[in-house]
């Protein structure tokens, strides 16, 4: 069974960063899901970069290049 999202930790981090925000009941879950989607996109892009460079392992330079691309795409 997979672990549940660390809800109280996420809520505390959000409250510490932005204390004036009023959070809905499931806002922490949405933040967690958004993080997981970002991580998945980052891993897929890093894998594609490694494949293009004919590397069998994902190296830090593949992840850094993927991070630049994914962050640019996610800004909107």
Q: Using one digit for the tens of pLDDT, what is the confidence trace for 23-59? A: 898 888 898 899 899 999 999 999 999 999 999 999 9
- Average pLDDT over the chain, rounded to an integer: 89
| pTM strictly above 0.85 | no
pLDDT of residue 64: 95
What 3-state class would DSSP assign to 55? Answer: coil
Q: Minimal CA–CA distance to 45: which of 71, 6, 7, 18?
A: 71
pLDDT of residue 44: 95
Give the span between the Cα atoms of 75 and 44, in whole angstroms: 18
Q: Is the pLDDT of residue 20 over 90?
A: yes
Distance CA 6, CA 32 (A): 9
User: Cα–chain-centroid distance for residue 43?
Assistant: 10
What does residue 46 show for φ and ψ, rounded to 5 degrees?
Answer: -65, -40
Whole-number pLDDT of residue 1: 54
């Amino acid at each position: 069974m997979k672990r549940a999202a660390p809800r109280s930790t996420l809520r505390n981090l959000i409250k510490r960063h932005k204390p004036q925000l009023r959070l809905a009941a499931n806002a922490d879950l949405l933040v967690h899901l958004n993080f997981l989607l970002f991580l998945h996109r980052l891993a897929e892009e890093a894998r594609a970069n490694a494949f293009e460079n004919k590397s069998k392992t994902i190296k830090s330079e593949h992840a850094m290049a993927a991070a630049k691309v994914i962050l640019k795409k996610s800004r909107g």
